[in-house]
Amino acid sequence: MKIVYFDVESYEEEFLKNNNEGKFTYYLVPNPLNDLTPVSEEYADADVISVFTTSRVTREVLQQFKNLKLIALRSVGFNHIDLEYCRENNIAVETSPNYGNITVAEYALALMLDVCRKVTVSYIEYKNARVCPKSLIGTELCGKTVGIIGLGAIGSAFARIVHGLNMNILAFDVVEKEEMKQLYDVTYTDFDTLLKESDFISIHAPLTKNNYHMFDEDSFSKMKDTAIIINTGRGELIETQALYNALINKKIAGAGLDVLENEEMISDIDYMTGINRMDRFKLQQTIINTRLFQLDNVIVTPHTAYNTKEAIQRILNTTMDNINKFSEGIVQNDV
């Protein structure tokens, strides 16, 4: 079985070599997959490809693989994969679930604390010897209401953390978990009520066709003008222009963002060298994203909430287990 691992970081190499050597024909490629760079002929007959979220595995990309049977994702998210093409061509897509539940939940709390207590702003002011105590007045978490969008594994971990901080918890999800109500005093409610009553909102939902741009101009208009929004889910859950407008017009108080809409436009060098291939919408999103960086009430980080030693090891272990089982004819953790 021939496997090509894309998006490979240096710290992943030793594990992948140790677990593939002598078992599979394999290749480790540092670059992501996208439609800007043709797939090498050397990789075109791969049985399995493994990618991270930095790849954009479109129909055009997948058509270049003639023998592909499995996409082994080193992530829990799969919105960067053309699932329709995979279904049409009997290509299994397997995720790495539960690797970052506590990792991402802790990071969401870090962003929330950073924005409401102005940690980064305080550091920058102090570093530049321009400390203004009035501009650094923050807000306590204790006793406030936090709305959680998506109470899956990560959202549930986040609920457990904020319950320990004596926060009131509202939740919006298609499935209500009785144990979350009993153990952590979670109150499930509708989306509009959560918007209106939350002092903080933390997004932990996967991206689907139904929730694209769930936070738009109308959503922000219903939120408290003192509210802070945190997103460690997917950037496309928030309409970027609507967020920017809400922030500069003081419709909300701040934002902590680990994900951005069309974030690859900023982080992937291939899009800069192939800038003529960007459409107008993506160019507009890139401009607005860079404007967000300039706002004092916004913290933006480079999709790094997952990034701990423990979570990375869990990703690699699960990915390798998925591939090993697939080689034995067993499909697990499939989308």
The CA distances from residue 115 to 108, 121, 210, 228, 229, in Å, are 11, 9, 29, 8, 9
Active site residues: 234, 263, 303
* CA pair distance 63, 60, nearest whole angstrom: 5
The long-range contacts involving 25-31, CB below 8 angstroms and separated by at least 24 positions, are 25/1, 26/2, 27/3, 29/4, 29/5, 31/6, 31/7, 31/270
The CA distances from residue 162 to 21, 146, 168, 200, 295, in Å, are 44, 8, 8, 11, 26
**Burial degree of 95 (CB within 10 A; 0-12, 13-18, 19+):** buried
The CA distances from residue 124 to 110, 136, 158, in Å, are 17, 11, 28
**Burial degree of 160 (CB within 10 A; 0-12, 13-18, 19+):** middle
> Using alpha carbons only, what angle is made at residue 30 by residues 28 and 34, rounded to the nearest 5 degrees?
110
Q: For the chain, how many residues are written?
A: 335
Given phi > 0 = left and psi -120 to 50 = alpha, else beta, which region is 324? alpha
Q: Where are the beta strands (DSSP E) in the chain?
A: 2-5, 25-28, 48-51, 70-73, 92-94, 145-149, 168-172, 186-188, 200-203, 228-231, 254-257, 298-300
